[in-house]
Amino acid sequence: MTVRTAELLMAILMGVFSIYLMVKSAELPIGWIEEEGPGGGTWPFWLSTIMLISCGGILYNWLRKKGSVATSNKTYIEAHVLGDVAAVAGALIVTVALFSFVGVYGALPLFLIFYIRFLGKHSWGLTAALTVGIPVVTFYFFEITLKIILPKGITEPLFLPLYKIFL
């Protein structure tokens, strides 16, 4: 498969998926709910809308043969790269599977350690900084600012003091 063909297929698939997500998220409130925050469908709907617009732009450029990707006849993915892709895909599947047991804040650091240190071969210092920093920022952004509670699994009791402080 060429890069040009892969781009067309992904734009179509992601466009159809975007429409599906927009329809499903519209089943929930899409506006701001007083004293609660954004409705359950707000972020999925608007992110899906942006994704659909992006797919439209990709298709537009593909039809006009505008840009290096839209005109490339190179092989889409080399065989030696498939191992790395499979490793990341497998790690993501394990990460999502762990959400119900150890929660987002237990599974996310494990994924980050694997990805940054072992796949990316970065230093332990950078790995530690990102492994601590990203979950902290994620917690404050989703749970405190947007009031979107993420799954915590067995780590839930560790967050009760934070809820008393911030909520």
Give residue 167's pLDDT.
75
Q: Are residues 1 and 20 in the same domain?
A: yes
Q: Are residues 98 and 149 in the same domain?
A: yes
Q: What's the domain range around 118?
A: 79-167
Q: What is the mean pLDDT of residues 119-133?
A: 97
Give residue 44's pLDDT.
93
Give residue 38's pLDDT.
87
Q: Are residues 7 and 18 in the same domain?
A: yes
Q: Which residues of 72-108 are buried (b: 16+ CB within 10 A; e: fewer)?
A: eeeeeeeeeeeeeeeeeeebeeebeebbeebbbbbbb
Q: Are residues 84 and 68 in the same domain?
A: no
Q: Are residues 94 and 164 in the same domain?
A: yes
Domain boundary among 19, 45, 76: 76
Give residue 17's pLDDT.
98
State how far the alpha carbon of 130 is from the alpha carbons of 68, 75, 79, 112, in Å: 33, 34, 31, 8
pTM equals: 0.68
Give residue 134's pLDDT.
97
Q: Are residues 120 and 132 in the same domain?
A: yes
Q: Are residues 84 and 97 in the same domain?
A: yes
Q: What is the pLDDT of residues 56-95, one digit of tens each?
A: 999 999 999 998 888 889 998 888 899 999 999 999 999 9
Q: What is the pLDDT of residues 5-62, one digit of tens each?
A: 999 999 999 999 999 999 999 999 988 888 888 888 999 999 999 999 999 999 999 9
Q: What is the mean pLDDT of residues 133-142?
A: 95
Domain boundary among 16, 43, 76: 76
Domain boundary among 55, 76, 97: 76
Q: Are residues 165 and 94 in the same domain?
A: yes
Q: How confident is the model at residue 121 (pLDDT cuts 50, 70, 90)?
A: very high
SS3 per-residue string spanning the chain: CEHHHHHHHHHHHHHHHHHHHHHHHCCCCCCEECCCEECCCHHHHHHHHHHHHHHHHHHHHHHHCCCHHHHCCCECCCHHHHHHHHHHHHHHHHHHHHHHHHCHHHHHHHHHHHHHHHHCCCCHHHHHHHHHHHHHHHHHHHHHHCCCCCCCHHHHHHHHHHHHHHC
